[in-house]
Structure 1
Amino acid sequence: MLDLALFILIFVSLGIGYLIGRRERVRRSGHRSSDQLSSEYFVGLNYLLNEQTDEAIESFIKALEINSDTAETFMVLGRLFRQRGELDRAIQTHQDLLARPSLTREQMLDVQLELARDYKKAGLFDRAETLLLDIVRQQWPGWRESIQTLLSIYEREKEWDKAIQLVGSLKGVQASGFESQRSHYLCELAEQALRESDVLSARRYLRQAARSSFENVRVSLLQGQVELKIDNPKDAVKALERIVDQDRSFIPESVGLLEEGYGRLRSQRGLSTYLGRCLREAPSAAVVMASARLIAQQQGEKEAGRFVAEQIVKRPSLKGLNSLIDIHLQMAEGRARQNLMMLRDLTGRLEHSKPVYRCGQCGFDGKELHWQCPRCHEWGSTRPIMGLEGE
C-alpha cells in the first residue's frame, strides 16, 4: 500500500508540473498540443487507483518523451525500480537517459551516478567503478555523493589501497570530512598486517592513520596491541593512555591491555594512578573492576569488596553488581554461597542479554564492536554503552 501511495504522489505532482510547463510552451509557440499526453497520463492514474503499478508505469513512460525537462522524472522512476529490486528496469531506464543528447552536463552526471548505483546493487562492481571514476573528480553538486558511492564499493570489496588512494587524491575543501575514513582504512591494513605477523607494516600504517586523524581511538588500541606483541610495554601503555584524551567512552576497551602492559612493567603504582584518574574523570564498570583487582592484590578481597560497594552506590551498574557478587562468592561458604551463586546466575543472564555497543548514528546495537556500523555504514560511530546496563 505504501508503494501505491508513493507512486500516486510522484505521478500526480510530476504530471501536473509537466502539463503546466507544456501548456506554457504551447501558449508561447502558438501551436495546439496533442491530447496524447493527458490521455496517457490519466490512463496511468487509473491503473494506479486499481493498484496496477506496473501498467501505470508503462503508461506514464509512454506519456513522456525523454528530454531535459523530463530527465528528473525518469531518474525518479529508475530509483523506484532499484528500490523495488527491479534492477534490469532501473538500468535500462538510466541507460536510455544517457543516450539522449539533449540532457545538460549536470543531468548526464546525475544519471551516471544513478546508473552506477544500479550496477552496485546488482553486484556489477567493475561497471560501477568505471562509471564513477569518470565523475568523481568533476566539479558538480553531486561530486561528494559520487566519491562516497565509489568508496562504498572499495569498502565492500576490501580494496583498502584503492580507497586510500582515492581519498588521498582529494585536495583542499574536497578532502575535508574524509580524514576519519582514511584513518580507518589504514587501520584495516594494519590489522591485516598484524594477522600476518608483519609488525613493521602494521606500525607504519598506524603512524599514517594517526596523522590522518588524531581522534581515532582505534589507532591507539591497535598501537597498544602491536607494541605488546613485540614486548614493548612502555610504548603500549603510552599509546593506550592517549584514549582518555581521545574518547573516554573507549577507556573500558583499553583497561585489559593496560593491566597487561603495566604488569610487564611491574608498575602497580603507575596503573593505580591512571585508574584513579579515570575514576575521577570518566568512571566505568571496567575501571571499577580493574581497580578492585588491584586492591585485592594489595589489601585483600574484603577491601576490594568494600571498594566496589562504595562505587556501586555512587554509580550503579549491572556489571559492577556482578563484580561485587563475584568477590563475595570467593569469601562465602555453605548456604550463603549457594544463595549468592543463584543470584549471580540470574544477574549474569541479565547482563548477557544486554547489548554492549551501540551506533550513535542509527541506533544499531550488539555485542561486537564494529568500527563501521553494519546498518548505516558510518565509520567510528559505534561506542560502548554506558550507564546502568552498560559501563
Structure 2
Amino acid sequence: MNRRLLALAAAGTGAAVLATAALRARPRGGEPRVVLATRLYAPEPAAAALRLRGLARALADAGAQVTVLTSTPPGMAAPADPGVTVSSAPALRDEGGYIRGYAQYLSFDIPLAARLLAGPAPDLIVAEPPPTTGAVVGVAAALRGAPYAYYAADVWSDAAASTGAPGWVVGALRGVEGLVLRGARTVLAVNDGVAERVRELGARAVTVVPNGIDTDVFTPAGPRAADAPAAPYFLYAGTASEWQGAGVFIEALRLVHREEPEARLVFLGQGSDWQALKDLAGGDARVVFRDLVPAAQAATWQRGAVASVVSIRPGLGYDFAYPTKIFAALACGTPVVYAGPGPARTDLPANALGWASDYDAEQVAAAMLAALEASRADDAQRAQAAQRRREWVMRHRSMQAALRDAAEVLLAEASVTD
C-alpha cells in the first residue's frame, strides 16, 4: 500500500511539474511577447481605451508581439494594427452598454483567468484596473513564470472611499489593490499624485507616464458635427461621474443666459452622474444630452465648440487629476473652461489655453462669458490662438510620445529568454 501511495504521489508530482513547465514554456529568442489584459480597448469610446490602443501600438512599434485580451462592445470591431492581435470575449454590460459595476467586472475577470493560461507563456502581462483584474493577472503571471505590470490611472480604493462606499468594501478593495501593487514588477502612474499614493500602498517601482491625447485623431482640421447646435455652444465630452461634478456648468449656464440667452451646453458622453445632470437641467432645451461617440466623432464636436468645459469636484480624492478631456479640446484648437483644483488650474491661464476658476457657478459663468467674447475675434486671431493651443499639446501632452516612453519601461521588464 505504501509503495502504491508513493508511486501515486510521485506520478502526481511529476504531472504537476510537467503542467507547470507547460504553462511556463515560451519560444526561445525572437520578439518579446506582451499581453495586455483590459476590459476597455478601442473602439470603446473611453479615454482609457484610446490610451491602451496607443500603448499596444507603441509596444508593437518597439518590436514586441502584442496580444490584447479584452471585450469589444457588441456590434463593434477592434482596430487592426500591425503587430497587435486583439482577442475579444463577451462580458456583462450595464444598461448603458459599459462594463461597469462589480458583477460586470467579475464577468470579465473570471474568464480572463483561463484566457491568460492559454497559448505560449508571455514575457510580460500588463493589467489595467480595476484591481480585481490586476489580481487575476497576478495569479496567472505567477503560474506562467512571467512578471506583470499595472497601469494605475487612479487609485480605486481611494475613489470608492470618496464616493461613500461601505467601509468593508473600501477595506477589501484596498487590500486587493495593495496586493496587486506590491506584486507588480513595475507600475505606470498617470501623474505624480497617483505615483505617490501607489508607493504608499506598496508599489516598488513606479514610472510616471502622463496622460496624453491622440494628436492624429484630435486635430483642428477636419469636419464639424453636422447636428451640432447652430447657436454658440459649450461642450462637455466624456464621462460624467460624481467626482467630476459637471452640474456646475448647468448652474453657470443659467447665469450666462442673463447676458447670452442663446448659448447652449452640450453633454456628449455617459457616466454615473448622467441622470442627475438631466434632472438638474430640468428639460431646458438649451442643455443638450448626446450619447458617447468614438473619438473621431468627438473631435467633430470639439472643433465647433466655443470652449470645452471640464471640472473636478474638490475634496473627493481627485484633486491631483489632469483630465484627458482638456488635451482632446486643446489638440483640436478649442479653448477650455476649467473648474476645480489640480495642475490644470495653473497651466491653462499661464499658457493662454483657456480659463480656470474655483468650483463655483458664478466664477464659472464669468469664464464662460469670457470664452463667448473671445469667440467673436476675427478669423486670423482665432486661428492663431487655436494653433498655439495645439502646439502646447504636441510639446507636452502628445499620447504617442508618452506611450513610447511607457513601452520602453515595460519592455525593459520583460523576461525575455534567448
Shorter-chain TM-score range: under 0.3
Normalised TM-score (structure 2): 0.23
Normalised TM-score (structure 1): 0.25
The structure whose RCO (Cα within 8 Å, separation 6+) is larger is 2
The structure richer in helix per residue is 1
The structure richer in strand per residue is 2
